[in-house]
Homo-oligomer: A and B are copies of this chain.
Amino acid sequence: MDELEIDAVAEVELDDPVLVEGLPGVGHVGSLAVEHLLEELEGESTLVRRVYSREFPPQVSVEDGVTELTCAKLHAISNPDGRDLLLLTGDHQAQTNDGHYLLTDAFLDIADEFGADEAYALGGVPTGELIEEYAVVGAVNDESLLESLEDSGVEFREDEPAGGIVGVSGLLLGLGERRGFDVACLMGETSGYLVDPKSARAVLEVLETVLEVELDYESLDERADEMEDVIGKIQEMEQQQQQQQMDVPTDDDLRYIG
């Protein structure tokens, strides 16, 4: 295995496509969002590239007894009604600093090949607590990109994200800028504790506008309902525990009675 091995699985002609990145991160917001896009646009989608690397963890995933070596995948979406897309998914990020730079350059090379010069990196920004309203926070690698995204409902906040943006998302912005790509990062607010379909939906609603696609959210909403159930059960269990702690007589109680 070389540092990088890129399998060209198929070739598709795309017209000025947009790269959309959804590798695993906070709340799995980015990966949920891009996987939903893939589902919704399945009819127009073709797997075009698999990217293998020594920088990925040395493992295989197993499904129905059959294994698959860790890789990142790019699907081309030839979209008659909106922008053409190049969707980037995967189960893992690189495991070293070096690796992040190497892989992001590889993803930008592939985007170049397909004629893209715009990209969206999707992710989550953790709030540390469960929330009701789901804002989408943004960052761009050139200030000319601010206005139209603000018009599409993205919030640019003065001190966020604190600590910057790390990993492939951050480097798509950073290396993209040096290579002539316009890149924006869209981060859905999320607690950070759970896989968050509501946050993914908030991000997708922004993308619907900028990529000129229309999406159905039924399957994502189902996942959101499942999540609500899980949260509800956790909260019940916590209340029960507190109740029990209050009911047991303590040593002090017994001493006074005795």
Encode contact with B along A93-106: 1 for CB under 8 Å, 0 otherwise. 00111101110110
Whether A65 contacts B139 by the Cβ 8 Å rule is: yes
A62 nearest CB across to chain B (Å): 5
Whether A67 contacts B166 by the Cβ 8 Å rule is: no
Alpha-carbon distance A70/B178, docked complex (angstroms):
12
Once A67-B139, A67-B173, A177-B67 are accepted as A-B contacts, the answer to whether A161 and B97 lie under 8 Å apart by CB is: no
Residue A232 at the B interface, CB < 8 A? Answer: no
Once A174-B70, A175-B69 are accepted as A-B contacts, the answer to whether A158 and B58 lie under 8 Å apart by CB is: no
Picked from B58, B66, B161, B171, the residue with its CB within 8 Å of the CB of A142 is B66
Encode contact with B along A40-75: 1 for CB under 8 Å, 0 otherwise. 000000000000101111111110111111100000
Alpha-carbon distance A252/B256, docked complex (angstroms):
14
Whether A58 contacts B171 by the Cβ 8 Å rule is: yes
Whether A62 contacts B1 by the Cβ 8 Å rule is: no
Whether A57 contacts B97 by the Cβ 8 Å rule is: yes
Residue A167 at the B interface, CB < 8 A? Answer: yes
Residue A180 at the B interface, CB < 8 A? Answer: no
Whether B69 contacts A178 by the Cβ 8 Å rule is: yes
Whether B60 contacts A170 by the Cβ 8 Å rule is: yes
Inter-chain contacts of A146 with B (CB < 8 A): 65-66
Q: Which of A180-237 contact B (CB under 8 A)?
A: 185
Whether B143 contacts A67 by the Cβ 8 Å rule is: no
Q: Main SS of the interface on chain A?
A: mixed
Inter-chain contacts of A175 with B (CB < 8 A): 1, 69
Residue A16 at the B interface, CB < 8 A? Answer: no
Inter-chain contacts of A142 with B (CB < 8 A): 66
Alpha-carbon distance A127/B97, docked complex (angstroms):
33
A174 nearest CB across to chain B (Å): 3
Alpha-carbon distance A55/B102, docked complex (angstroms):
12
Whether B174 contacts A66 by the Cβ 8 Å rule is: no
A178 nearest CB across to chain B (Å): 7
Q: List 6 A-B contacts (CB under 8 A).
A: A60-B174, A65-B139, A66-B142, A66-B143, A69-B177, A69-B178
Considering the complex of A and B, which 9 residue pairs feature the smallest CB-CB distances, nearest first? A69-B174, A65-B156, A58-B100, A59-B166, A54-B101, A67-B173, A61-B164, A1-B101, A60-B174
Interface residues of A (CB under 8 A from B): 1, 5, 52, 54-62, 64-70, 95-98, 100-102, 104-105, 138-143, 146, 156-158, 160-161, 164-168, 170-171, 173-175, 177-178, 185, 251-252, 255-256, 258
